[in-house]
């Protein structure tokens, strides 16, 4: 392998690593947030997204014990914050099986027992893209939100 090829490979690796680090932080401006339609637009997207999840045979069983109203709120917070909006995502979730327990779990812990595969993660992403499309979100804006959420795949996919 030539020295140039090695250097190019190292450079590409550093570029990918830096882009992943940037992708895990919310946008610093509200351009994507505005492109999603602000809080009301995000609410419409999530209100479209959740029925798609529950109807999708590839993943609907994963949501059996989830409090879907709470999931709706958390997704709105998450999309809003990562899009550069004024919201703060709490990063915590309580499901119905936790009633009376009082414990909150982070993203990795919430998903650890769900045995989420890459195929399931991709199905959810497809459903989100459909929800944004149905709410007339421009592809460029939708792709920017997906790019910010994609690094969560490492915490969510457990199988």
CATH of the domain at 146: 1.10.490.10
Closest CA to 49 of 121, 120, 141, 131: 131
In a domain, 36, yes or no: yes
d(CA 31, CA 17): 24
Whether residue 72 lies inside any domain: the answer is yes
Q: Answer yes or no: is 97 within a domain.
A: yes
Residues 6+ apart with CB under 8 A from 159: 115, 116, 117
- Max mean pLDDT range (6-10, 21-25, 124-128): 124-128
Structure confidence by residue, pLDDT tens digits, 38-86: 999 999 999 999 999 999 999 998 888 888 998 899 899 989 998 999 9
The average confidence (pLDDT) of the chain is 76
What percent of the chain lies above the pLDDT cut of 90? 40
Residue 6: inside a domain? no
Query: 12-16, 54-58, 132-136: which has the minimum mean pLDDT?
Result: 12-16
| 2 in a structural domain | no
Number of domains into which the chain is organized: 1
Task: Answer yes or no: is 141 within a domain.
Answer: yes
Task: Using pLDDT thresholds of 50, 70 and 90, give the confidence band for residue 28.
Answer: confident
* Domain coverage including residue 107: 27-156
List, in order, residues 6 or more apart from 20 with CB less than 8 Å away: 151
Weakest mean pLDDT among 3-12, 42-51, 103-112, 128-137: 3-12
Residue 81 inside a domain? The answer is yes
Question: Is residue 19, in this structure, part of any structural domain at all?
Answer: no
Mean pLDDT computed over 6-23: 37
State yes or no: pLDDT of 122 exceeds 90: no
């Amino acid at each position: 392998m030539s020295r140039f090829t090695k250097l190019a490979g190292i450079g590409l690796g550093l570029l990918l690593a830096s882009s992943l680090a940037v992708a895990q932080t919310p946008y610093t401006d509200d351009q994507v947030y505005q492109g999603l339609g602000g809080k009301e637009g995000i609410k419409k997207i999530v209100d479209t997204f959740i029925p798609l999840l529950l109807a999708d045979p590839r993943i609907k069983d994963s949501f059996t014990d989830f409090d879907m109203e709470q999931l709706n709120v958390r997704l709105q917070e998450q999309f809003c914050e990562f899009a550069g909006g004024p919201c703060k995502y709490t990063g915590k979730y309580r499901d119905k099986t936790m009633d009376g327990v009082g414990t909150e779990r982070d993203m990795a812990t919430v998903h650890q027992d769900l045995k989420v595969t890459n195929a399931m993660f991709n199905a959810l992403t497809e459903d989100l893209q459909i929800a944004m499309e149905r709410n007339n979100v421009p592809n460029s804006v939708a792709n920017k939100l997906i790019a910010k959420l994609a690094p969560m795949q490492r915490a969510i996919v457990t199988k």
